[in-house]
A and B are shown apart, each in its own frame.
Chain A
């Protein structure tokens, strides 16, 4: 198929960006979206143009490194990661716009590459269970109710890609936050730090410049790992509990 691609080009964090139009011919439906960009880049280099910078690593939908706004949708028209989107989802003659994640807390580094280190700092603020190596009790000493273990697992599936932020009209990271708070808070091991955790994480979230949550649900719609929207309820409930305790 032949495609028209409108792609965001930006030389660096401080420079202004612009949309640039490229024509790409003979795209196979078996290519992944990122392989389509690889092919475009090879042709750009052949012409002496600098290739388009974009992030990807595992290319099997689990590392969370890739992520593009594709014609206005985070990770594109199918609910999956950008690397798992295939060109058979598009038609000959389509025009596709490709932009980086758009959020103040994810500044652009170059072209389609953004800085998501704000997510790491949220985890640093409290997204962990304090258990020094060597201090762990025997694994079977604390049974975990299967219902809770399954709920923790469902939330722990988050890959930290940032699609929830990109899809949110407020650029809120509440789905990412809720996933971590739920994962750790459902488990008995996570109880001692449960309320302190949520307070610290929310403070860091706001400090990073993410927006507030207005429950639009756009985040959960875009999430390639199908993190359920109700993890945000869990977060709010824990936050309320923490405030009641005067934290």
Chain B
């Protein structure tokens, strides 16, 4: 398997003053042969492990969302000794729980022309041809098994009167392949995985470590062999060793401070692994969702998503003149309103794709025509107006279709959307980037597997709706149990003693970091740094990027990071529950990740997926992808010393993307 990927830097010269180019990287674990036979071949070629030997083999899994929870349950069922970690008080709380819409599967229950190939095709196209074909095909292939498994566990999917499963069309695709459980699909799928996991806890195959946070990866002789974790209740720094480590720790959208992620969602597990040698792929690929409830003030701690379906019947506008922005929207006459999406994109209107709707909303607000309360210098909101729909359909019909969403809006904002136009603004929702993995979901560090949102592999530069849940469960239930089995068939690996120098060094590094954070005792709170980082990221590494802006962002982040280590104030002790200390460690890692995101965005001089690069647009101002120069995965190697505070100069390893089964096409919405 792919255990010997070269990590030598190319000719050593620094590009753009920011990074070096190393040798290309490639996935060597996908078997040869036609794309629809690869997974069958790989499963067959994967070696078996004698059931009697499995209980002697141990697996650490960090994260208990759909990917981590499903993997822990399945590997436990197989008889391996599994240690499962989460920072929450129960595995059931992982942020997969918040996914609303649904889960795609190529069941073709509607007989509307769906197939494995079509789901594969839609996912690759939706990712704007920046995802790896082999992985996506497998995702589509196992999608049908996911539904079977979830139904057997008792997941209460929506059903028709005949008792069969209902499907809907979602995210702009033309087939109905999305399975759902009202607006709580993520919750129901996660509870299914959680119950399967707790069943294995009772069976003695899985040990659950809740309120534990992974703070370091242990690498011995080039292999991932364990983690250092902090017990968040007692503060104890613990060493956990195993034959294989799985990171299923979610995405890093909270680098923007405000996002739809949970408060605790963080990059620390994957970032610590990156510092120990794991490549971080496409870090700049983030998804920004256009229909979130806007920020109401500086106190705001998180953003809430409303379903995009609102754009089917709502009309989006801002005042034509900045001086009207403070007025009651109902007093602004029709001729003074700018329905800017309908104006710029007459054929798609309010239904343009997420990235375009998001970018144009930011543009009109940056022009000073935003609405709602001023936050900082700007009003960050645009109207989503249901007046026409209410006249056309009646209030009852609108309530029938959108009642839950409108109630949620009213609860959060205090405004009645049946009387006053709603306000929306884009927000960070999902990160497509993550640790680089091969077809086996193994990183370039042998023994380190990465699943779900934490890896980079399936969504390219933009993720389709209802495919995050699919990927998490595909990785956890069906992919990892097969590929990890193959890795473990070569075990046991030499026993690692807790006194091994690498283990001792990892523990010491964690202890030193905790001590340092508590000793700085500066003037600024952790949150104030986090908020400032979020502003920088949103401004310079958000929906629209330019070389000038990104360079400024990098400079600001470097300055902020230096100040953080000089001036942060973390109160309390190390040996107790200390939420400021937890946050400080996470923000410290975000401050390093943010810089790499900007460098990645800067080097990718093309507009693709959810990202608009100012230097890469068509004559009429639309996104221009550059397949000739950027049809690759950017896998970044950490450039600094693993222990020091310096991030050094990252090294870029390119993985060329090959499209054999699908022809490249351009997107156009005009």
Contact of A64 among B92, B163, B210, B304 (CB under 8 A): B92
Tell me if B498 counts as interface (CB < 8 A to partner A). no
Q: Which one of B88, B181, B304 contacts A65 once the chains associate, using CB atoms below 8 Å?
A: B88
A160 at the interface (CB under 8 A from B): yes
A135: chain B residues at CB < 8 Å are: 152
Partner of A184, one of B154, B198, B569: B154
| CA A30 to CA B477, docked complex, whole Å | 42
Could you tell me if B195 and A129 are in contact, using CB atoms closer than 8 angstroms? yes
Q: A65-B88, A130-B199, A189-B154 are in contact. Are A58 and B414 (CB under 8 A)?
A: no
CA distance A65 to B98 in the complex (A): 12
Cα-based distance from A127 to B161 in the complex (angstroms): 27
Q: Tell me whether A35 and B300 are in contact (CB under 8 A).
A: yes
Which B residues lie within 8 Å of A72 (CB)? Answer: none
| Interface residue? B194 (CB, 8 A) | yes
Contact B199 A128 (CB under 8 A): yes
Contact of A187 among B156, B182, B194 (CB under 8 A): B156
Contact B304 A128, beta carbon cutoff 8 Å: no
How many A-B contacts are there with CB distance less than 8 Å? 213
Collect the chain B residues with CB atoms within 8 Å of residue A159's CB.
Answer: 187
CB distance B154 to A129 under 8 Å?
yes
Flag if B164 contacts A117 (CB, 8 Å).
Answer: no
Residues of B within 8 A of A190 (CB): 154
> Size range of the interface on A?
35 or more
Closest B residue to A138 by beta carbon equals B148
Check A128 against B156 for contact (C-beta < 8 Å).
no
Contact status A117-B210, CB under 8 Å: yes
Residues of B within 8 A of A60 (CB): 98, 260, 302, 304-305
Is B73 an interface residue, CB under 8 A from the partner?
yes
Q: Are B579 and A53 in contact (CB under 8 A)?
A: yes
Closest to A64 in B: B93
- Contact between B414 and A30 (Cβ–Cβ < 8 Å)? yes
Contact with B along A100-127 (1 / 0, CB 8 A): 0000000001100101110110011101
- A115 and B89 contact, CB distance less than 8 A: yes
Closest beta carbon of chain B to A106's beta carbon, Å:
10
Whole-angstrom CA separation of A34 from B301 in the bound complex? 9
Question: Which residues of the partner chain B approach A145 to less than 8 Å between Cβ atoms?
Answer: 163
How many Å from the CB of A176 to the closest CB on chain B? 12
Contact of A183 with B262 at beta-carbon distance under 8 Å, contacts A28-B299, A42-B527, A109-B577 already known: no
Closest beta carbon of chain A to B193's beta carbon, Å: 10
| B164 x A53 contact (CB < 8 A) | no
Determine whether the beta carbon of A29 is less than 8 Å from that of B576: no
Residues of A within 8 A of B (CB): 11-12, 28-32, 34-36, 38-39, 42, 45-46, 48-51, 53, 55-60, 62-65, 80, 84, 86, 88, 109-110, 113, 115-117, 119-120, 123-125, 127-140, 142-146, 149, 152-153, 156-157, 159-160, 183-184, 187, 189-190
Chosen A-B contacts, 24 in total, with CB atoms closer than 8 Å, are: A31-B296, A42-B525, A58-B98, A59-B262, A62-B186, A63-B262, A84-B411, A88-B414, A116-B89, A119-B90, A120-B91, A120-B201, A129-B152, A132-B77, A133-B70, A134-B149, A135-B152, A139-B147, A143-B159, A143-B163, A143-B164, A144-B163, A156-B191, A183-B154
Instruction: Other than A59-B262, A149-B156, give 8 A-B pairs with Cβ distance below 8 A.
Output: A48-B571, A60-B304, A110-B577, A129-B152, A146-B160, A156-B181, A157-B187, A160-B92
